[in-house]
Structure 1
Protein backbone atom coordinates (compact mmCIF):
# COMPACT_ATOMS: atom_id res chain seq x y z
CA UNK A 1 0.00 0.00 0.00
CA UNK A 2 1.37 3.37 -0.99
CA UNK A 3 0.67 6.43 1.12
CA UNK A 4 0.01 9.52 -0.97
CA UNK A 5 0.18 12.89 0.70
CA UNK A 6 -0.87 15.90 -1.30
CA UNK A 7 0.60 19.37 -1.05
CA UNK A 8 -2.77 20.49 0.27
CA UNK A 9 -2.61 17.91 3.07
CA UNK A 10 0.93 18.95 4.05
CA UNK A 11 -0.17 22.60 4.04
CA UNK A 12 -3.16 21.81 6.24
CA UNK A 13 -0.96 19.91 8.72
CA UNK A 14 1.51 22.81 8.87
CA UNK A 15 -1.29 25.35 9.40
CA UNK A 16 -2.77 23.19 12.16
CA UNK A 17 0.63 23.02 13.90
CA UNK A 18 1.01 26.81 13.79
CA UNK A 19 -2.55 27.32 15.04
CA UNK A 20 -2.06 24.79 17.84
CA UNK A 21 1.11 26.56 19.05
CA UNK A 22 -0.59 29.96 18.85
CA UNK A 23 -3.68 28.64 20.67
CA UNK A 24 -1.47 27.12 23.39
CA UNK A 25 0.30 30.46 23.88
CA UNK A 26 -3.00 32.35 24.09
CA UNK A 27 -4.24 30.10 26.88
CA UNK A 28 -0.80 29.77 28.46
CA UNK A 29 -0.53 30.96 32.06
CA UNK A 30 2.80 32.57 31.07
CA UNK A 31 1.26 35.25 28.83
CA UNK A 32 1.40 38.67 30.43
CA UNK A 33 3.75 40.95 32.31
CA UNK A 34 5.64 39.81 35.41
CA UNK A 35 7.54 41.83 38.03
CA UNK A 36 10.55 40.36 39.83
CA UNK A 37 9.95 39.97 43.57
CA UNK A 38 13.21 38.27 44.55
CA UNK A 39 16.27 36.79 42.88
CA UNK A 40 18.97 34.65 44.44
CA UNK A 41 21.95 32.77 43.12
CA UNK A 42 23.64 29.74 44.59
CA UNK A 43 27.25 29.13 43.68
CA UNK A 44 29.33 26.38 45.28
CA UNK A 45 26.90 26.10 48.20
CA UNK A 46 26.80 29.85 48.91
CA UNK A 47 23.52 31.70 48.38
CA UNK A 48 23.33 35.47 47.72
CA UNK A 49 21.07 38.14 46.23
CA UNK A 50 21.39 38.13 42.45
CA UNK A 51 20.41 41.79 41.94
CA UNK A 52 20.58 43.19 45.45
CA UNK A 53 18.06 42.96 48.27
CA UNK A 54 15.38 44.83 46.28
CA UNK A 55 15.85 43.74 42.67
CA UNK A 56 14.07 45.38 39.77
CA UNK A 57 12.98 43.36 36.80
CA UNK A 58 10.26 42.72 34.26
CA UNK A 59 9.47 39.68 32.17
CA UNK A 60 6.90 39.83 29.39
CA UNK A 61 5.48 36.86 27.47
CA UNK A 62 3.32 37.60 24.42
CA UNK A 63 0.67 35.46 22.75
CA UNK A 64 2.92 35.47 19.67
CA UNK A 65 5.48 33.34 21.56
CA UNK A 66 7.99 36.16 22.11
CA UNK A 67 9.50 37.31 25.39
CA UNK A 68 11.62 40.14 26.79
CA UNK A 69 13.34 40.14 30.17
CA UNK A 70 15.24 42.95 31.91
CA UNK A 71 16.80 42.49 35.36
CA UNK A 72 18.62 45.23 37.28
CA UNK A 73 20.19 45.95 40.63
CA UNK A 74 18.93 49.43 41.63
CA UNK A 75 22.06 49.96 43.72
CA UNK A 76 24.26 50.32 40.61
CA UNK A 77 25.40 53.97 40.68
CA UNK A 78 24.63 56.35 37.85
CA UNK A 79 27.47 57.14 35.44
CA UNK A 80 29.18 60.49 35.95
CA UNK A 81 28.64 61.25 32.27
CA UNK A 82 25.13 61.35 30.82
CA UNK A 83 26.47 59.81 27.59
CA UNK A 84 25.86 56.07 27.66
CA UNK A 85 29.04 55.22 25.76
CA UNK A 86 31.31 57.29 27.99
CA UNK A 87 31.31 55.31 31.23
CA UNK A 88 34.56 54.57 33.01
CA UNK A 89 35.80 50.98 33.19
CA UNK A 90 34.55 50.80 36.77
CA UNK A 91 31.10 52.17 35.85
CA UNK A 92 30.79 49.80 32.88
CA UNK A 93 31.79 46.80 35.01
CA UNK A 94 29.22 47.68 37.68
CA UNK A 95 26.48 48.16 35.08
CA UNK A 96 27.30 44.88 33.33
CA UNK A 97 27.52 42.91 36.60
CA UNK A 98 24.31 44.45 37.95
CA UNK A 99 21.98 44.03 34.99
CA UNK A 100 20.98 41.89 32.04
CA UNK A 101 18.46 42.36 29.27
CA UNK A 102 17.51 39.82 26.63
CA UNK A 103 14.69 38.82 24.29
CA UNK A 104 13.67 36.07 21.94
CA UNK A 105 11.11 33.35 21.35
CA UNK A 106 9.67 30.75 23.67
CA UNK A 107 7.85 27.46 23.21
CA UNK A 108 4.99 25.81 25.05
CA UNK A 109 3.41 22.38 25.00
CA UNK A 110 -0.21 21.57 24.10
CA UNK A 111 -1.25 22.67 27.61
CA UNK A 112 0.44 26.06 27.32
CA UNK A 113 3.24 25.09 29.73
CA UNK A 114 6.75 26.45 29.13
CA UNK A 115 9.07 24.07 27.26
CA UNK A 116 12.01 26.32 26.34
CA UNK A 117 13.29 29.49 24.76
CA UNK A 118 15.84 30.83 22.31
CA UNK A 119 17.65 34.11 22.99
CA UNK A 120 17.77 36.34 19.90
CA UNK A 121 19.40 39.38 21.51
CA UNK A 122 21.10 40.12 24.82
CA UNK A 123 23.21 42.71 26.63
CA UNK A 124 25.47 39.71 27.36
CA UNK A 125 26.55 38.71 23.82
CA UNK A 126 27.41 35.14 24.82
CA UNK A 127 23.71 34.39 25.32
CA UNK A 128 22.70 35.34 21.75
CA UNK A 129 21.57 32.18 19.99
CA UNK A 130 21.36 30.16 23.23
CA UNK A 131 18.52 27.67 23.42
CA UNK A 132 17.30 26.65 26.83
CA UNK A 133 15.12 23.64 27.51
CA UNK A 134 13.37 22.47 30.65
CA UNK A 135 16.62 20.72 31.58
CA UNK A 136 18.20 24.06 32.54
CA UNK A 137 15.25 26.48 32.81
CA UNK A 138 11.97 25.77 34.55
CA UNK A 139 9.05 28.18 34.90
CA UNK A 140 6.12 27.21 37.10
CA UNK A 141 3.04 29.41 37.37
CA UNK A 142 0.75 29.22 40.40
CA UNK A 143 -1.98 31.84 40.05
CA UNK A 144 -0.34 35.27 40.02
CA UNK A 145 3.09 33.95 41.08
CA UNK A 146 5.72 32.33 38.95
CA UNK A 147 8.91 30.62 40.06
CA UNK A 148 11.90 30.49 37.74
CA UNK A 149 14.78 28.10 38.28
CA UNK A 150 17.72 28.37 35.92
CA UNK A 151 21.06 26.63 35.97
CA UNK A 152 23.88 28.46 34.24
CA UNK A 153 26.46 26.45 32.28
CA UNK A 154 28.98 26.98 35.13
CA UNK A 155 26.60 25.27 37.58
CA UNK A 156 25.37 28.44 39.30
CA UNK A 157 21.68 28.14 40.21
CA UNK A 158 19.39 31.15 39.79
CA UNK A 159 16.05 31.28 41.62
CA UNK A 160 13.63 34.12 40.78
CA UNK A 161 10.13 34.74 42.09
CA UNK A 162 7.83 36.77 39.83
CA UNK A 163 4.46 38.37 40.47
CA UNK A 164 1.94 39.01 37.69
CA UNK A 165 1.38 42.71 36.98
CA UNK A 166 -2.34 43.45 37.06
Structure 2
Protein backbone atom coordinates (compact mmCIF):
# COMPACT_ATOMS: atom_id res chain seq x y z
CA UNK A 1 0.00 0.00 0.00
CA UNK A 2 2.85 2.39 0.85
CA UNK A 3 4.49 1.61 -2.47
CA UNK A 4 1.26 2.49 -4.30
CA UNK A 5 1.01 5.78 -2.37
CA UNK A 6 4.62 6.65 -3.27
CA UNK A 7 3.94 5.77 -6.90
CA UNK A 8 0.84 7.95 -6.88
CA UNK A 9 2.74 10.90 -5.34
CA UNK A 10 5.59 10.43 -7.83
CA UNK A 11 3.11 10.31 -10.72
CA UNK A 12 1.36 13.48 -9.58
CA UNK A 13 4.71 15.25 -9.10
CA UNK A 14 5.88 14.17 -12.57
CA UNK A 15 2.62 15.40 -14.10
CA UNK A 16 3.11 18.77 -12.38
CA UNK A 17 6.61 19.04 -13.80
CA UNK A 18 5.39 18.27 -17.30
CA UNK A 19 2.56 20.79 -16.94
CA UNK A 20 4.85 23.52 -15.56
CA UNK A 21 6.07 24.78 -18.95
CA UNK A 22 2.49 24.97 -20.24
CA UNK A 23 1.49 26.95 -17.16
CA UNK A 24 4.43 29.31 -17.65
CA UNK A 25 3.46 29.78 -21.29
CA UNK A 26 -0.09 30.78 -20.36
CA UNK A 27 1.44 33.82 -18.65
CA UNK A 28 2.35 35.12 -22.12
CA UNK A 29 -0.27 37.86 -22.65
CA UNK A 30 0.46 38.41 -26.36
CA UNK A 31 0.45 34.79 -27.55
CA UNK A 32 -2.21 34.14 -30.18
CA UNK A 33 -3.52 35.59 -33.42
CA UNK A 34 -4.47 39.25 -33.69
CA UNK A 35 -6.40 41.15 -36.39
CA UNK A 36 -5.62 44.78 -37.17
CA UNK A 37 -8.56 47.08 -36.36
CA UNK A 38 -6.93 50.45 -37.09
CA UNK A 39 -3.53 51.93 -37.85
CA UNK A 40 -2.44 55.56 -37.65
CA UNK A 41 0.80 57.27 -38.45
CA UNK A 42 1.72 60.66 -37.02
CA UNK A 43 4.43 62.28 -39.17
CA UNK A 44 5.12 65.84 -38.06
CA UNK A 45 2.07 65.95 -35.80
CA UNK A 46 -0.46 64.80 -38.44
CA UNK A 47 -2.60 61.83 -37.46
CA UNK A 48 -3.19 59.99 -40.76
CA UNK A 49 -4.51 56.50 -41.44
CA UNK A 50 -1.74 54.04 -42.25
CA UNK A 51 -2.75 51.33 -44.71
CA UNK A 52 -5.95 53.18 -45.61
CA UNK A 53 -9.26 53.69 -43.80
CA UNK A 54 -9.91 49.93 -43.54
CA UNK A 55 -6.48 48.33 -43.09
CA UNK A 56 -5.98 44.59 -43.22
CA UNK A 57 -3.40 42.86 -41.11
CA UNK A 58 -2.58 39.89 -38.94
CA UNK A 59 -0.09 39.50 -36.13
CA UNK A 60 0.68 36.07 -34.75
CA UNK A 61 2.70 35.38 -31.59
CA UNK A 62 3.49 31.71 -31.05
CA UNK A 63 4.15 29.99 -27.73
CA UNK A 64 7.75 29.32 -28.79
CA UNK A 65 8.36 33.11 -28.97
CA UNK A 66 8.26 33.60 -32.74
CA UNK A 67 6.08 36.17 -34.49
CA UNK A 68 4.90 37.14 -37.95
CA UNK A 69 3.19 40.42 -38.85
CA UNK A 70 1.62 41.32 -42.20
CA UNK A 71 0.01 44.73 -42.81
CA UNK A 72 -1.78 45.69 -46.03
CA UNK A 73 -3.82 48.48 -47.53
CA UNK A 74 -6.68 46.76 -49.42
CA UNK A 75 -6.92 49.78 -51.76
CA UNK A 76 -3.62 48.87 -53.48
CA UNK A 77 -4.64 48.02 -57.05
CA UNK A 78 -3.89 44.67 -58.59
CA UNK A 79 -1.02 44.42 -61.06
CA UNK A 80 -1.90 44.28 -64.75
CA UNK A 81 0.24 41.14 -65.04
CA UNK A 82 -0.41 38.00 -63.01
CA UNK A 83 3.36 37.51 -62.78
CA UNK A 84 4.60 39.05 -59.53
CA UNK A 85 8.00 40.07 -60.89
CA UNK A 86 6.54 41.90 -63.89
CA UNK A 87 4.83 44.84 -62.18
CA UNK A 88 5.35 48.33 -63.53
CA UNK A 89 7.36 50.86 -61.51
CA UNK A 90 4.11 52.46 -60.41
CA UNK A 91 2.54 49.13 -59.42
CA UNK A 92 5.64 48.07 -57.49
CA UNK A 93 5.85 51.44 -55.71
CA UNK A 94 2.18 51.22 -54.63
CA UNK A 95 2.59 47.62 -53.42
CA UNK A 96 5.68 48.47 -51.34
CA UNK A 97 4.13 51.63 -49.88
CA UNK A 98 0.86 49.85 -49.09
CA UNK A 99 2.15 46.72 -47.39
CA UNK A 100 4.63 45.45 -44.85
CA UNK A 101 5.54 41.96 -43.73
CA UNK A 102 8.14 40.79 -41.24
CA UNK A 103 8.89 37.97 -38.80
CA UNK A 104 11.31 37.01 -36.07
CA UNK A 105 11.60 36.31 -32.36
CA UNK A 106 10.08 38.15 -29.42
CA UNK A 107 10.45 38.26 -25.65
CA UNK A 108 8.12 38.66 -22.71
CA UNK A 109 8.98 39.68 -19.16
CA UNK A 110 8.22 37.84 -15.92
CA UNK A 111 4.66 39.24 -16.00
CA UNK A 112 4.04 37.82 -19.49
CA UNK A 113 4.09 41.26 -21.07
CA UNK A 114 5.77 41.96 -24.41
CA UNK A 115 9.31 43.24 -23.85
CA UNK A 116 10.89 43.35 -27.33
CA UNK A 117 11.59 41.66 -30.64
CA UNK A 118 14.27 40.93 -33.21
CA UNK A 119 13.35 41.04 -36.91
CA UNK A 120 14.82 38.09 -38.83
CA UNK A 121 13.13 38.73 -42.18
CA UNK A 122 11.17 41.60 -43.71
CA UNK A 123 9.77 42.94 -46.96
CA UNK A 124 11.69 46.10 -45.98
CA UNK A 125 15.30 44.84 -45.95
CA UNK A 126 16.52 47.65 -43.69
CA UNK A 127 14.61 46.09 -40.76
CA UNK A 128 16.34 42.71 -40.96
CA UNK A 129 18.48 42.25 -37.86
CA UNK A 130 16.90 45.17 -36.00
CA UNK A 131 16.01 44.79 -32.36
CA UNK A 132 13.29 46.74 -30.64
CA UNK A 133 12.84 47.19 -26.92
CA UNK A 134 10.02 48.88 -25.05
CA UNK A 135 11.73 52.18 -25.83
CA UNK A 136 10.76 51.89 -29.53
CA UNK A 137 7.89 49.39 -29.41
CA UNK A 138 5.18 48.89 -26.81
CA UNK A 139 2.50 46.21 -27.06
CA UNK A 140 -0.07 46.55 -24.30
CA UNK A 141 -2.79 43.92 -23.93
CA UNK A 142 -6.12 44.74 -22.30
CA UNK A 143 -8.37 41.70 -22.53
CA UNK A 144 -8.90 40.93 -26.22
CA UNK A 145 -7.45 44.24 -27.41
CA UNK A 146 -3.80 45.12 -27.88
CA UNK A 147 -2.39 48.57 -28.60
CA UNK A 148 0.91 48.74 -30.49
CA UNK A 149 2.88 51.98 -30.27
CA UNK A 150 5.99 52.10 -32.42
CA UNK A 151 8.44 54.97 -32.87
CA UNK A 152 10.49 54.91 -36.05
CA UNK A 153 14.15 55.92 -35.77
CA UNK A 154 13.42 59.34 -37.34
CA UNK A 155 10.72 59.98 -34.69
CA UNK A 156 7.47 59.17 -36.50
CA UNK A 157 4.90 57.54 -34.20
CA UNK A 158 2.70 54.66 -35.37
CA UNK A 159 -0.28 53.33 -33.41
CA UNK A 160 -2.03 50.10 -34.31
CA UNK A 161 -5.06 48.66 -32.55
CA UNK A 162 -5.34 44.88 -32.65
CA UNK A 163 -8.19 42.55 -31.73
CA UNK A 164 -7.59 38.96 -30.59
CA UNK A 165 -8.93 36.38 -33.05
CA UNK A 166 -10.89 33.64 -31.29
Q: Which TM-score band (shorter chain)? A: 0.7 to 0.9
* Deviations 1:58-79, CA, capped at 9 Å, x for gaps: 0000000000000000000000
Relative to its length, the structure with more helix (as a share) is 2
Task: Specify the SS of the correspondent of 2:129.
Answer: coil
Q: TM-score, normalised by structure 2?
A: 0.85
The 5 Å alignment of 1:45-56 reads 45-56=45-56
Task: Specify the SS of the correspondent of 1:96.
Answer: helix
Unaligned runs of 5+ in 2: 1-19
Match of 1:59 in 2: 59
RMSD of the TM alignment (CA)?
A: 1.4
Once residues 23 and 134 of structure 2 are traced to their aligned partners in structure 1, the CA distance between those partners, rounded to angstroms, is: 21
Match of 1:39 in 2: 39
Unaligned runs of 5+ in 1: 1-18
The structure with more radius of gyration: 2
Figure out how many residues of one structure are paired with residues of the other and give that number: 147
Once residues 112 and 46 of structure 1 are traced to their aligned partners in structure 2, the CA distance between those partners, rounded to angstroms, is: 33
Q: TM-score, normalised by structure 1?
A: 0.85
CA contact (8 A) 2:138 2:150 kept: yes
Once residues 40 and 24 of structure 1 are traced to their aligned partners in structure 2, the CA distance between those partners, rounded to angstroms, is: 34
Match of 1:3 in 2: none
* 1:27 shift after superposition: 2.1
Task: Specify the SS of the correspondent of 1:54.
Answer: coil
Match of 1:102 in 2: 102
